[in-house]
Amino acid sequence: MLELLKRMLGYRRLADNTMGVKQQKVDGPLLNGSLEKNLAVLQTRFANSTDVVYRQFKLGFNAKNGAALVYIDGIVSPALVNDTILKPLMFELTQETNRLKELNHNNIIDLLQNYALPNNSVENSAYLEEIIAGILSGKTALLLDGTHMGLLINTKGWESRGVEKAETENVVRGPREGFNETIGVNVALLRRKIKSTNLRIESLTMGRQSSTTVSIAYVHDIANPKLITEVKLRLAKIDIDAVLESGYIEQFIEDQLSIFPTIGNSEKPDVVAGKVLEGRVAVFVDGTPFVLTVPFLFSEALQSAEDYYSRPYSVTIVRWIRVAALFITVLSPALYISLESFQPDLLPTLLVVTMAGAREGIPYPAYVEVFIMGVIFEIMREAGVRMPRPIGQAVSIVGALVLGEAAVQAGLISNTMVIVVALTAIASFVLVPLGDSIIILRIFFALSAMFMGLFGILAGMILVLVHLAKLRSFGVPYLYPVAPGNVQGLKDVLIKAPVWSMQTRPALLTPLAGRRRVAKAAKPKNERSQQP
């Protein structure tokens, strides 16, 4: 009951003060009327930072009025500073002196903001902390002598990676573009996919030291308001020094600790757009190409972006292959231990003789063999990922061939073990979203088989299934639509129904618009009459 009241109070506070940072009251010291004193304060705050530029000059239409620009070199565009600030204020205003005098503006800040600066974003502020925050985010601060107000001018222009192919989600058919490290570009890529005024983007700043921009995206007339509020509430509770990647936020907002991912992530705009259109919420973090999506269900790990661009028949077969790959990569080492050490009578006699002959001379039990090869495989995989790509691929291929052949020739492992490790490794690459979970599950089932054989594997599968059934992602059962069952939802799990037949969004997401606008084209009534 107390927890319910706390959550209700949290919702109420969040409704009063939503995600917008500008709605928050700014406290702190005000700017001084003296330009020299303001510059002295800024120089003290930035201390010995040599990348902070202080450019003092005189306004063109009033040589007695001193001004100064403060910005950080490297995160602003020098061309924007010169063309939209210095040139208008030092040269063009000199020619427009008489016309500006006719405007009879007593407020010089208003005059500059509305008549003199040709920039798409010019904001005024009297608070020192707002001025400093603007400078740190890539804006240029314009300070004037004799006024307690300053201007923050948008001059952001740091180097960034362009829109390139997504590295972790390769597809044969479908869009190839991926997100980059700039949040503005990422949001724009989503806007290109969903051209609707109902797509809402709300932002906040997180991290006491990093001041990282975080945005949430959802479709207003589809996403459940309770889900949106829950996402905002969990984000608002995060208090951390720095947010350097979306993985920081993922660990704070997940429902419970588990080896299975309950927060989705993707670096493809079309994948995020598809999930948002189903009623999910996307979380963008500045500085990373990986966008979080919630809720995330287990069935999504068996899906790929191109499943929705290909014909349903082949996609259905591929999904069954992914399920088979999951069982192969998780259970192959455990089954090898069990059948070799506990239940060899379950195999055909000829196969038992062949396996026994292959293991002749091996100095240790099957489970030791499995763990040694498992560790070696993980070392090679990690080396291949961390090293430069051309070298990493060579290390992975040559290392596997050389070590495997040498180990068999030396009598340290059997030929059967090499086959098991190869199948396990290849199958693990099919399910990238479950990569971390698969490693832990493989060890868990191998230990279970080491103690109790097939009975241990069966007991382990029951425990994992119970754990999956208890998992929630933002209140949604992790195994939905299998448990609880939903006929419409099953059209996109082990089978892939045609797009025109999936007329409803996932029911447990409780979207406002439960039905999609899809319709199959009607066939002509008289096909023969339509022929030329």
pLDDT reported for residue 95: 52
Q: Cβ distance 305 to 268 under 8 Å?
A: yes
- Dist. CA 275–CA 257, nearest whole Å: 23
- The model's pLDDT over 61-78, given as tens digits with 9 standing for 90+, comes to 555 678 899 999 888 988
pLDDT reported for residue 20: 41
- The model's pLDDT over 14-56, given as tens digits with 9 standing for 90+, comes to 444 444 433 444 567 888 888 899 999 999 998 878 889 999 9
Domain-terminating residue out of 154, 175, 202:
154
Residue 57 shares a structural domain with residue 116: yes
Helix (H) or strand (E) holding 528: helix 527-530
- The model's pLDDT over 149-186, given as tens digits with 9 standing for 90+, comes to 899 999 888 777 777 888 888 888 888 889 988 898 89
In this structure, is residue 526 part of a structural domain?
A: no
pLDDT exceeds cutoff 70 at 230: yes
pLDDT reported for residue 412: 76
- The model's pLDDT over 393-422, given as tens digits with 9 standing for 90+, comes to 666 666 666 677 777 777 777 788 888 888
Domain-terminating residue out of 137, 154, 171:
154
- Dist. CA 271–CA 280, nearest whole Å: 12
Q: Which of 268, 259, 264 is nearest to 283 (CA)?
A: 264
Arithmetic mean of pLDDT, 201-223: 91
pLDDT reported for residue 512: 64
In this structure, is residue 136 part of a structural domain?
A: yes
Q: What share of the chain is helix, strand, coil (3-state, %, to 5)?
A: 50, 15, 35
Report the percentage of the chain scoring pLDDT > 90.
33
Q: What range does the domain containing 289 cover? A: 183-296
- Dist. CA 309–CA 16, nearest whole Å: 43
Our count of domains for the chain comes to 3
Residue 217 shares a structural domain with residue 354: no
DSSP of 33-60, one letter per residue? S-HHHHHHHHHHHHTT-TTEEEEEEEET
Residue 108 shares a structural domain with residue 244: no
Residue 288 shares a structural domain with residue 322: no
Q: Decide: helix, strand or coil at residue 391.
A: helix
In this structure, is residue 72 part of a structural domain?
A: yes
Residue 88 shares a structural domain with residue 131: yes
Q: Output the average pLDDT for the chain.
A: 82
On the 0-12 / 13-18 / 19+ scale of CB atoms within 10 A, 460 is buried
Residue 205 shares a structural domain with residue 271: yes
Rounded to 10 degrees, the C-alpha dihedral 326/331/336/339 comes to: -120
In this structure, is residue 13 part of a structural domain?
A: no
Residue 319 shares a structural domain with residue 433: yes
Domain-terminating residue out of 100, 135, 154:
154
- Dist. CA 357–CA 371, nearest whole Å: 21
- Dist. CA 175–CA 180, nearest whole Å: 15
Residue 130 shares a structural domain with residue 231: no
- The model's pLDDT over 233-258, given as tens digits with 9 standing for 90+, comes to 999 999 999 999 999 999 999 988 89
- The model's pLDDT over 430-448, given as tens digits with 9 standing for 90+, comes to 888 888 899 999 999 999 9
In this structure, is residue 270 part of a structural domain?
A: yes
In this structure, is residue 497 part of a structural domain?
A: no
Q: Which residues pair with 197 in a beta bridge?
A: none
pLDDT reported for residue 391: 65
Residue 58 shares a structural domain with residue 103: yes
pLDDT reported for residue 15: 42
Structure token pair of residue 39: 């510059």
Q: Which of 235, 179, 246, 169 is nearest to 205 (CA)?
A: 235
Q: Cβ distance 59 to 65 under 8 Å?
A: yes
Q: Please state, in angstroms and as integers, the Cα–Cα distance from residue 227 to each residue in 118, 293, 477, following that order.
A: 41, 12, 14
pTM: 0.81
Please provide residue 24's backbone torsions phi and psi, each rounded to the nearest 5 degrees: -75, 140
- The model's pLDDT over 112-132, given as tens digits with 9 standing for 90+, comes to 888 788 888 899 998 998 999
- The model's pLDDT over 491-531, given as tens digits with 9 standing for 90+, comes to 888 888 888 777 777 777 766 666 666 555 555 555 444 44
In this structure, is residue 450 part of a structural domain?
A: yes
Residue 101 shares a structural domain with residue 239: no
pLDDT reported for residue 22: 39
> Residue 362 CB: number of other CB atoms within 10 A?
15
Higher-confidence residue of 359 and 350: namely 350
Radius of gyration of the chain (CA): 31
Residue 208 shares a structural domain with residue 318: no
Residue 328 shares a structural domain with residue 361: yes
pLDDT reported for residue 104: 46
In this structure, is residue 522 part of a structural domain?
A: no
